[in-house]
């Protein structure tokens, strides 16, 4: 499948996934109240951070892994996820009072989702990747309608997701030869030592990237009321999630394609330029679309609690544009660049969150100020990243040209 077709396939199907996700948010607010939307968003954010912590980017080795190490890579991912998910669930349960069994099930399942996705990307099974994501989103929606209590919803979500991802993962690993010796401590330590630079650099960066995406939700829930956290969750679902979904569609597609190019020691600058142009257009369209249509849709179709989220959608516009137009391009650094730089840009974003959602509330406890400052500082940071990534692409183009001359 061509790169642009791959992007289009994932992005177009993501529209349906987004509709399902938005319907789930509406259903939670309708049946259980806006405060429970905030609680759901908090739980989901914690689970996503935990899932990324479980794999620690070991799953990102899968698309570009040699065939002779693929089986060990899969085993390492699964064992690591099972162990870290348990430790994470114990700690988070103690802090937030969440049900430890549900938390463990959701965290481990989402970690295995990452493993399954990267196996599908390796085989370029984009259509199966799309179906996997849709099945996961659809189950959340169904669980809300089946449940008569919020606790029952979480139980259904955890059980159903576990079954779904086990089936998807099994369909990918059934053709991969796995032996008992691969589960030994010795074999897994050898794998760890061989790839510790990746796990330390890219792994730390990926965990920070996921934390950076979800910490604002967690910190807003800490500083402000659950209803306020619900506003941010609604905007995240209706405005930011489409951006992240489309951005991830591009990111996953180019990661799959560029990983193959990396294995063959080549780089296609013209392809990079097309992706860059596509993202720029998508970023402009998304920003204008949210500015014009979000207030219209919310005022026309939803209650006052939802209308109160409109100011948040305005504050987040400076963040929305670069999140789609620039962020997916950072995968170039992940494949061809320095793991240290990939880690650095995540540390910079963590610093932005620290200023906007920790320092500022200590000085002025104002939700509007915190969100707007967060968006502005993120825009400035992404501008510098854009320059760096383009310089990397130009350098790779020159290197590819010199190799051809030689």
Task: Give percent of the chain above pLDDT 70.
Answer: 92
Query: Phi-psi category of 138—alpha, beta or left, where left has phi over 0 and alpha has psi -120 to 50?
Result: alpha
Write out the DSSP string of 117-135: HHHHHHTT-HHHHHHHHHH
The answer to whether 271 and 3 have CB atoms below 8 angstroms apart is yes
For residue 294, what are its two tokens?
């979000």
For residue 191, what are its two tokens?
């794998």
Distance of CA 368 to the CA centre of its chain: 25
Instruction: Tell whether the model's pLDDT for residue 112 goes beyond 60.
Output: yes
Say what the pTM is: 0.71
In which band, very low, low, confident or very high, does the pLDDT at 330 lie, cut at 50, 70 and 90?
confident
**pLDDT score recorded for residue 205:** 76
pLDDT by residue (tens digit) across 216-258?
Answer: 888 988 888 878 888 888 888 777 776 777 777 777 777 777 7
In which band, very low, low, confident or very high, does the pLDDT at 107 lie, cut at 50, 70 and 90?
very high
- Give the residue with greater pLDDT, 23 vs 373: 373
For 371, other C-beta atoms within 10 Å of its C-beta total 23
The answer to whether 307 and 364 have CB atoms below 8 angstroms apart is no
Residue-range domain boundaries for the chain: 3-405
pLDDT by residue (tens digit) across 357-380?
Answer: 999 999 999 999 999 999 999 999
**pLDDT score recorded for residue 82:** 94
Residue 300 is inside which H or E element, if any? helix 269-301
In whole angstroms, give the CA distance from residue 132 to residue 116.
Answer: 9
Query: Phi-psi category of 124—alpha, beta or left, where left has phi over 0 and alpha has psi -120 to 50?
Result: left
The answer to whether 132 and 79 have CB atoms below 8 angstroms apart is no
pLDDT by residue (tens digit) across 143-173?
Answer: 999 998 999 999 999 999 999 999 988 887 7
Q: Whose CA is closest to 227, among 290, 295, 309, 302?
A: 309
pLDDT by residue (tens digit) across 390-400?
Answer: 888 888 787 76
For residue 146, what are its two tokens?
């089946």
For 351, other C-beta atoms within 10 Å of its C-beta total 13
49 CB contacts (<8 Å, ≥6 apart)?
A: 207, 210, 211, 214, 215
Instruction: Tell whether the model's pLDDT for residue 102 goes beyond 90.
Output: yes
Average pLDDT on 261-279 reads 80
Burial class from Cβ neighbours inside 10 Å (0-12, 13-18, 19+) for residue 326 reads buried
């Amino acid at each position: 499948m061509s790169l642009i077709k791959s992007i289009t396939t994932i992005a177009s199907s993501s529209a349906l996934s987004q509709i399902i996700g938005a319907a789930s948010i509406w259903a939670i607010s309708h049946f259980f109240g806006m405060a429970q939307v905030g609680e759901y968003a908090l739980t989901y954010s914690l689970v996503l951070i935990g899932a990324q912590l479980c794999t620690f980017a070991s799953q990102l080795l899968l698309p570009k892994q040699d065939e002779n190490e693929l089986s060990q890579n899969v085993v390492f991912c699964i064992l690591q996820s099972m162990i870290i998910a348990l430790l994470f669930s114990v700690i988070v349960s103690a802090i937030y009072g969440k049900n430890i069994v549900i938390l463990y099930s959701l965290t481990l399942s989402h970690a295995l989702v990452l493993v399954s996705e990267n196996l599908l990307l390796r085989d370029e099974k984009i259509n199966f990747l799309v179906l996997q994501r849709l099945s996961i989103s659809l189950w959340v929606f169904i669980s809300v309608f089946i449940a008569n209590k919020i606790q029952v919803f979480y139980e259904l979500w955890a059980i159903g997701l576990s079954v779904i991802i086990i089936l998807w993962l099994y369909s990918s690993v059934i053709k991969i030869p796995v032996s008992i010796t691969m589960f030994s401590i010795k074999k897994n330590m050898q794998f760890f030592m061989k790839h510790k630079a990746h796990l330390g650099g890219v792994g730390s960066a990926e965990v920070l990237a996921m934390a950076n995406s979800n910490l604002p939700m967690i910190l807003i829930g800490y500083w402000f009321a659950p209803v306020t956290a619900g506003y941010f969750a609604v905007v995240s679902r209706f405005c930011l999630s489409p951006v992240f979904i489309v951005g991830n569609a591009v990111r996953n597609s180019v990661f799959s394609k560029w990983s193959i190019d990396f294995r063959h020691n080549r780089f296609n600058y013209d392809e990079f330029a097309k992706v860059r142009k596509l993202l720029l257009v998508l970023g402009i369209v998304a920003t204008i679309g949210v500015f014009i249509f979000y207030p219209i849709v919310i005022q026309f179709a939803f209650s006052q609690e939802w209308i109160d989220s409109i100011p948040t959608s305005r504050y987040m516009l400076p963040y929305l544009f670069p999140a789609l137009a620039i962020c997916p391009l950072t995968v170039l650094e992940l494949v061809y660049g320095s793991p240290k730089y990939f880690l650095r840009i995540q540390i910079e974003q963590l610093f932005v969150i620290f200023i906007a959602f920790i320092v500022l509330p200590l000085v002025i406890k104002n939700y509007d100020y915190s969100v707007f400052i967060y968006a502005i500082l993120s825009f400035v940071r992404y501008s510098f990243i854009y320059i760096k990534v383009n310089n990397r692409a130009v350098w790779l183009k020159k290197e590819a040209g010199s190799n051809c001359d030689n």
